[in-house]
């Protein structure tokens, strides 16, 4: 996105776009649905399977059960226990992401951002850092700080071009641009998705959006 476009986006932050949040959380559907499986597959393979991993995993499962039942207090107690008692386990990595998710849903954005930035500044696996970066996009979107969400989306694409979330974040970024009136940027990004990721669900979605834009433009020309 051009620097001029970014400045323009900053200038329209006060605009409230009805339904924007529901339309731009594409990546979260994929991200949160796959996070447990992704981390389990990629991280548990790198950690020695020992008693600490088993205990920490059990504690994390128990914490999730508390949250599911609405017992946030005890859920946080167990999450913090996993992080403090088993810092070098995969469960501790998951626990920190889970805690950040919980804070975001509670609108405690500063607390969530602190956790996510600590992950990014640590020596964690790239898998862990990439999921933290994805959550930062969601955090800014939830906070309705759309310029930062747009910037974070652009940075994610640069840092993780082959990540499993990147294609959805491309679509997410295009939708931001479209709803803020930057249609040229939106069209450019949709076209990039079609070219870079042919024969994928995301490419089909991008082409569908491009066709819709073209049809609307042609309809307007007919009635001018």
Domains present along the chain, CATH in parentheses: 3-9+20-223 (1.25.40.10)
What is d(CA 55, CA 53) in angstroms, rounded to the nearest whole number?
6
Contact in structure between 171 and 205 (CB atoms under 8 Å) = yes
3-11 vs 146-159: helix crossing angle, rounded to 10: 150
pLDDT for the residue numbered 67: 85
pLDDT for the residue numbered 217: 66
What is d(CA 101, CA 132) in angstroms, rounded to the nearest whole number?
10
pLDDT for the residue numbered 16: 27
**What is the separation of C-alpha 163 from the centre of its chain, rounded to a whole number of angstroms?**
12
Helix (H), strand (E) at residue 72: helix 72-85
pLDDT for the residue numbered 27: 42
What is d(CA 48, CA 107) in angstroms, rounded to the nearest whole number?
36
pTM summary value = 0.74
pLDDT for the residue numbered 68: 85
126-142 vs 166-179: helix crossing angle, rounded to 10: 20
* Eight-state DSSP code of residue 47: S
Show the beta-strand stretches assigned E in the chain: none
What is d(CA 94, CA 77) in angstroms, rounded to the nearest whole number?
15
Cβ atoms within 10 Å, residue 41: 11
Nearest CA among 119, 74, 84 for reference residue 100: 119
What is d(CA 45, CA 67) in angstroms, rounded to the nearest whole number?
27
pLDDT for the residue numbered 220: 58
For the chain, the residue count is 224
16: left (phi over 0), alpha (psi -120 to 50) or beta: beta
pLDDT for the residue numbered 44: 46
What string of pLDDT tens digits covers the 224 residues of the chain?
Answer: 444 444 444 333 223 233 344 444 434 443 443 444 444 444 444 444 467 778 888 888 898 888 888 899 999 999 999 999 988 888 888 899 999 999 999 999 999 999 999 999 887 677 889 999 999 999 999 999 999 999 999 999 999 999 999 999 999 999 999 988 898 999 999 999 999 999 999 999 999 999 988 877 666 543 34
């Amino acid at each position: 996105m051009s620097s001029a476009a970014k400045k323009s986006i900053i200038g329209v932050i006060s605009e409230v776009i009805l339904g924007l949040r529901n339309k731009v959380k594409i990546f979260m559907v994929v991200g949160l649905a796959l996070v447990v499986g992704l981390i389990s597959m990629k991280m548990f393979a790198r950690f020695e399977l020992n008693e600490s991993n088993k205990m920490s995993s059990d504690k994390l499962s128990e914490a999730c059960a508390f949250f599911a039942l609405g017992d946030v207090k005890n859920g946080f107690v167990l999450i913090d226990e996993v992080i403090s008692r088993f810092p070098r386990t995969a469960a501790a990595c998951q626990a920190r992401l889970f805690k950040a998710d919980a804070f975001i849903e509670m609108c405690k954005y500063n607390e969530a951002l602190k956790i996510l930035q600590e992950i990014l500044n640590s020596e964690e696996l790239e898998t862990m850092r990439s999921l933290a970066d994805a959550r930062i996009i969601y955090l800014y979107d939830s906070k309705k700080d759309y310029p930062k969400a747009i910037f974070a989306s652009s940075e994610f694409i640069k840092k993780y071009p082959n990540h499993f979330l990147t294609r959805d974040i491309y679509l997410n970024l295009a939708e931001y641009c479209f709803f803020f009136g930057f249609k040229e940027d939106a069209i450019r990004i949709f076209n990039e998705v079609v070219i870079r990721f042919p024969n994928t669900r995301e490419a089909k979605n991008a082409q569908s959006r491009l066709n819709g834009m073209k049809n609307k433009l042609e309809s307007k020309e007919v009635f001018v």
